[in-house]
Structure 1
């Protein structure tokens, strides 16, 4: 099995309440609202409510997610405010003309939001500009105030997420990586047992759950990279890590497909135990990677290599045996598929370990 080149620390008891994330988020939002309200009152902003609304809209569970929401809202606000202001300037101020303009602008911006979801707030902003501007309020000033106040709300929201009981997207991403690798390890152990004992194994539900977990990891990874680009964190994770995890998921899914029908007893006698031990070694490797990604430990694959070598020896003997010569075409294809999948997963696990090491040195 892969060894971690440092002594394992004893597990610490979890003293934090399960409700702590909700409490922390409530505190962050309250602090952001307080600061924003104070700034609005200090500078007597006429549309200051929109700064508060923005805080409530963009505040997410991590600094990276909040920054992403704030940037998206600002972009949509600028687009909607400029277009709405331009329409106000060229449209006669009659109910019929303003109503027609509202319908056209809302349709155009909604169409754009479907193509670019980041712009989904533009139609709302344009409608606000068209419907709430009073005649004594110059259009240009109204539009600029709207942009400034949305910017203020987003900026305060990001700062609150960064400094008030902060939660890093990277920390959440690492937790998801650990859980995902643990799930992969459990599935590999189940596959090893099924392969060795000639049992039928259905992986449909597990594959769906694994896919959903990977999609959640991808979303958190985007937020973590945004934190890095904005200078909110120093640590980084290689872009190749999520891609490698997807390849591993595909390998596990492919192995599950091979095990839906048990291999014949002669094949299990020839390579079943060696293949099962290789799957078990990869499960241990996955758990070692989960530990390494959390605490930057170094993974050694010396013992995993022994299982791979034992399988290759058994596979070569099978190829040269009477059992192989008497196999049907389909049966031989499944055996070679087993060998290919095991080798590919081993390669992907080594790639994952290399990418984790790469991120540690970045």
Structure 2
């Protein structure tokens, strides 16, 4: 194999690793957590090291904030399930098979109801089952089973949390920057496509295709944002509050929905010739601002200038005023006129939200490295 071919393969491998570095780091953390949890459980002479290993794997998450949430939920659920399951096992005799079935129902049913109402408590019935059934296969008492379960889970949780902190830790704020940049890029592409629809009209399928991906991205951003706020509350991060960024992205998404409603029906030919180039330029400059804002978030840099968009918007509004003075809007049907004026309103809203985005990017800028 030639040196050039090796270089090409090396670049491909390096690029692939860099693109998947977050997932690779998580895989490494999970592996290390499982190994350390097994070693620690064996050194502590716990009867079932399995639960320590499983817990360490479960609480080792994509970010430190998510690990904190998983650890607290798992520990609370385990302790509560162990207390309830142990109490049922101790207070209600269950030497026969029918009695054991009855006790199992009493132990599981209420905890399963709580777990159904609160998904973060799904470990409750599992813990109760383990505490109740393990003594039937071993010589341990229900009380010893409950205590061992809490110790095993506690050890695994501590190991998993320490690994999350110390081994290639991943900040939720870093993931927030990446998710926001991707959402802004989606919005930029959607805005250009939606404004292009003013010239030809867009079907409902086209509108859903453009909007659904943005909605899903914002759902993911809310999840990551909650994890980032958990890190801030635990004094693990000095990064900015994620609330303003999340709210600005949501408002921008609403602006795109407004533009999408207008884009369903094309503008009349006369207006399209006069206003089409102006509104297309406004969309292009707004899209460029969105993309560069995402790049600035990733680079911890200051925001891009907003003047190109503001100049394009001013040119569109001046042409719009000229069209109205010439009376070209008076002959429009009611629904078309409504959509026509909604374009200008939508871009005014976009302008206000781009100003907010510029402020937010400034807050997330160089001083937050």
- After superposition, give the CA deviation of every residue in 1:118-138 in whole Å (9 maximum; x if it has no partner): 111100001111111368645
- Correspondence for 1:258 among 240, 256, 262: 262
1:169 match: 172
TM-score by length of 1: 0.87
- Correspondence for 1:105 among 101, 104, 107: 107
1:346 match: 351
1:144, distance to aligned residue in structure 2 (A): 3.0
TM-score by length of 2: 0.86
Counterpart Cα distance in 2 of 1:291 and 1:47: 49
2:65 match: 64
- After superposition, give the CA deviation of every residue in 1:215-244 in whole Å (9 maximum; x if it has no partner): 222222222222333333332343121222
* Contact kept in structure 1, 2:63 and 2:172, CA below 8 Å: yes
Which piece of structure 1 moves more, 28-37 or 105-114?
28-37
Larger RCO (alpha carbons 8 Å, 6+ apart)? 1
1:20, distance to aligned residue in structure 2 (A): 4.8
- Correspondence for 1:130 among 129, 132, 144: 132
- After superposition, give the CA deviation of every residue in 1:40-85 in whole Å (9 maximum; x if it has no partner): 2222223433111211222223322222222221121122111111
* Contact kept in structure 2, 1:91 and 1:98, CA below 8 Å: no
2:328 match: 323
C-alpha spacing 1:330/1:193, structure 2 compared with 1 (3 Å): closer
2:154 counterpart of 1:151: yes
Q: 1:1-362 maps to which residues of 2 (within 5 A)? A: 14=15, 16=17, 20-95=21-96, 96-133=98-135, 137-195=140-198, 198-201=199-202, 202-299=206-303, 300-360=305-365
* Contact kept in structure 1, 2:34 and 2:54, CA below 8 Å: no
DSSP-derived class of the 1:231 partner: coil
* Contact kept in structure 2, 1:192 and 1:277, CA below 8 Å: no
Calculate the aligned-residue CA RMSD, in Å.
Answer: 2.3
DSSP-derived class of the 1:262 partner: coil
Counterpart Cα distance in 2 of 1:130 and 1:138: 9
- After superposition, give the CA deviation of every residue in 1:179-202 in whole Å (9 maximum; x if it has no partner): 11112111222234443xx22233
1:19, distance to aligned residue in structure 2 (A): 5.6
Counterpart Cα distance in 2 of 1:32 and 1:351: 42
Counterpart Cα distance in 1 of 2:263 and 2:27: 48
Moved over 6 A (4+): none
- After superposition, give the CA deviation of every residue in 1:151-209 in whole Å (9 maximum; x if it has no partner): 221121121122212322222222221111112111222234443xx222332212112
* Contact kept in structure 2, 1:162 and 1:232, CA below 8 Å: no
The runs of 5 or more residues in structure 2 that have no matched partner are 1-13
2:10 match: none
1:270, distance to aligned residue in structure 2 (A): 3.8
1:8 match: none
DSSP-derived class of the 2:17 partner: coil
DSSP-derived class of the 2:255 partner: helix
